[in-house]
Amino acid sequence: MADKNIPCGYNPVVPSGKNLPELTLKALLPGLIMCVVLGAANAYLGLKAGQTVAATYPAAVIGMAVMRAFRGNILEENMARTVGSIGESVAAGAVFTIPAFVIAGVWTDFGNTRSYLESFAIMTVGGILGILFMTMLRRVMVRDEELPYPESVAAAEIHKAGRTGGSGARYLFSAMGFGIVIQALASLKVFASSWEKFIPFSKSAVALKTSGGAKLATLQGGGGALLASPDVSPAFIGVGYIIGPRLAALNFAGGVMAWGLFVPILLFFCGTDIEAMVGQSNPGGVDWIAMAYAAWKFIVRPIAVGGMLVASAYTLYRMRSSLWSGLKHSFEDLKKAAGARDSDERVERDIRFSRVLIVLAGMSVITFLLYWCFSKSFQAAIFASVVMLVAGFLFAAVSGYLCGMIGSSNNPVSGLTLSTLVIAALLMVMLGESGPAGLVATLGVAAVICVALAVSGEMLQDLKVGHILGGTPWKMQIGNIIGVIIASSIMFIPLFILHQGDINMGGTGFGGKNLPAPQAGMMAMLSEGIVGGHMAWPLVIAGMFMGAGFILTGVKSPMLVAVGMYVPFQTSSAIFLGGIFRWLADQLAEKRKFNISQKTRVNNCGILISSGLIAGEALAGLLFASFAFFNARVFQLFASPPFIFGMVVFMLLGLVLIVVPLKNAGKPDDPPPPQAVI
Query: Is 573:232 a contact under the CB 8 Å cutoff?
Result: no
| Torsion sign across C-alpha atoms 473, 476, 477, 478 | positive
pLDDT, mean of residues 123-141:
87
What confidence score (pLDDT) does residue 2 get?
47
The predicted pLDDT at position 542 comes to 93
Q: Is the pLDDT score of 276 beyond 70?
A: no
pLDDT above 70: residue 246: yes
Please tell me the least confidently modeled range out of 267-281, 292-306, 373-387, 473-487.
Answer: 267-281
Q: Comparing 220-229, 262-271, 435-444, 623-632, which segment has the lowest mean pLDDT?
A: 435-444
Lowest model confidence (mean pLDDT) among 281-290, 431-440, 526-535, 600-609: 281-290
Q: According to the model, what pLDDT value does residue 88 have?
A: 86
pLDDT of 597 over the 70 cut: yes
List Cα–Cα distances, 334 to 136, 217, 338, 450, 586, in angstroms: 7, 67, 6, 21, 45
Q: Which neighbouring-strand residues pair with 208?
A: 217
Residue 325 reports pLDDT greater than 50:
yes
Q: How confident is the model at residue 256 (pLDDT cuts 50, 70, 90)?
A: very high
Closest CA to 450 of 378, 500, 396: 396
pLDDT given for residue 283 in this prediction: 58
527 pLDDT tier (thresholds 50, 70, 90):
confident
pLDDT 10s digits, 198-242:
998 887 777 777 777 777 777 777 788 999 999 999 999 998 998
> Which of 8-12, 271-275, 287-291 is modeled with the greatest confidence?
287-291
Distance (Å, rounded) from C-alpha 162 to C-alpha 52? 26
**Residue 608 clears pLDDT 90, i.e. is over it:** no
Q: Characterize 358-397 residue by residue with b for buried, 16 or more Cβ atoms within 10 angstroms of its Cβ, and e for exposed.
A: ebbeebbebbbebbbebbebeebbebbbebbbebbbbbbb
Q: pLDDT higher for 418 or 185?
A: 185
pLDDT band at residue 673 using 50, 70 and 90 as cut-offs:
low
At 51 the pLDDT is: 75
CA distance linking residue 362 with residue 592, whole number of Å: 60
**Would you say residue 7 has pLDDT above 60?**
no
Of residues 674 and 245, more confidence is placed in 245
Spatial separation of the C-alpha atoms in residues 644 and 642, rounded to whole Å: 5
Give the number of other Cβ atoms within 10 Å of residue 113's Cβ: 7
Q: CA 414 to CA 560: how far, in whole Å?
A: 12
Q: What is the pLDDT of residue 343?
A: 56
For every residue of 2-42, DSSP letters joined together read --TTSPTT---SS-TT-----S-HHHHHHHHHHHHHHHHHH
Q: What is the mean pLDDT of residues 609-630?
A: 90
pLDDT per residue as tens digits for the range 360-396: 999 989 988 888 887 778 888 888 888 888 888 877 7
Least confident of 322-336, 428-442, 591-605: 322-336
Is the pLDDT confidence value at 166 over 80? Answer: no
Average pLDDT score over residue span 113-142: 88
Type and span of the H or E element at 444: helix 436-469
